[in-house]
Amino acid sequence: MDNPNILVTNDDGIYSPGLKILFDAVKPLGNPIIIAPETPKSSSGLGITLHKPLRLEEVNVNGLRMWSTNGTPSDIIYLAQRIANKIDVAVSGVNIGDNTSIQVILSSGTIGAAAQAALIGVPAIAFSAAVSSAGELEAVADFIAAGARAVVSHVMRRGMPKGIDVLSINFPREFSPNTVAKTAEAARLRYEQYLDERVDPRGGKYYWLYGEQKNPRPGTDVYVVNVERNIAVTPLYLDLNANKCNAHDDLHDLINSITTAIRSLFPP
């Protein structure tokens, strides 16, 4: 690709440090275009906006020029085509919090943006990190940027792995010389969901939905990221028909490139 247009988006909003980490990661690879929600849109999934007009505003956030929108991460895929005519690659993240398990993947705005791009034929990668704050994300920014650059560079040179629509990359909260990337299937459930009923001062009932983490099964994305503290590479296939696509064998070189990129940041 000759100076490809790389869409950089997220669901955490324009002020998230994950945008700059991803922008810095892909800037050497092409022409990055940042479009992000004006406010956080976590758990927006594949939702698109049909009940109000979408608006775009060019803004400067901490010295970084980008577009802000009142729409969802999925809306951004279509807005991007208005700005750039053609998007060659879409990258989403870096999300504050890992997006592991089918339960979380299906509601994630970060992965939703990537999936929406994949539906219209754009190679798409979602990046998330098992951190709980912007500060924790910034503390491991160099490692995440190195890993993200390795993934995007690989996809731009060789295309998406055969039969794969979206790559979901989940980074651990800390890195060491022993940190490696692994293919990992998505766990089915990460949380046991509960509904907490309460009563307001006027006697009306209201509810809080919350979850308690289940023990993850070895080999799943939840286990690789949160127990092993490694990088989980989860290939996603968007065809919801009842069949399976086995693409893990085609990911060997990509896995090695991520591990090599991370280890290059440590002294020999």
Kindly list the domain boundaries of the chain, sorted by start residue: 5-186+217-263
Q: Quick one: fold of 5-186+217-263?
A: Stationary-phase Survival Protein Sure Homolog; Chain: A, (3.40.1210)
pLDDT tens readout for residues 191-215: 899 999 999 999 999 999 988 889 9
Query: How high is the pLDDT of residue 241?
Result: 73
pLDDT tens readout for residues 146-171: 999 999 999 999 999 988 999 999 99
List the binding residues. 11-12, 42, 95
Give the residue among 175, 185, 184, 187 at the shortest CA–CA distance from 259. 175
Residue 88 predicted with pLDDT over 70: yes
Contact status, residue 185 vs residue 220, Cβ threshold 8 Å: yes
List the binding residues for a divalent metal cation. 11-12, 42, 95
Alpha carbon distance 149, 94 (integer Å) = 12
Alpha carbon distance 95, 137 (integer Å) = 9
Q: Is 143 exposed, middle or buried (0-12, 13-18, 19+ CB in 10 A)?
A: buried
pLDDT tens readout for residues 51-69: 999 999 999 998 899 999 9
Q: In sequence order, what DSSP letters do the residues of 196-216 get, joined into one string? A: EEEE-TTS-EEEEEEEEEPPP
Strand partners, 31: 5
pLDDT tens readout for residues 214-261: 999 999 999 999 999 999 999 999 987 766 655 666 788 899 999 999
Q: How far is CA 100 from CA 6, 7, 11, in A?
A: 24, 23, 16
Widest pairwise Cα distance in the chain: 65
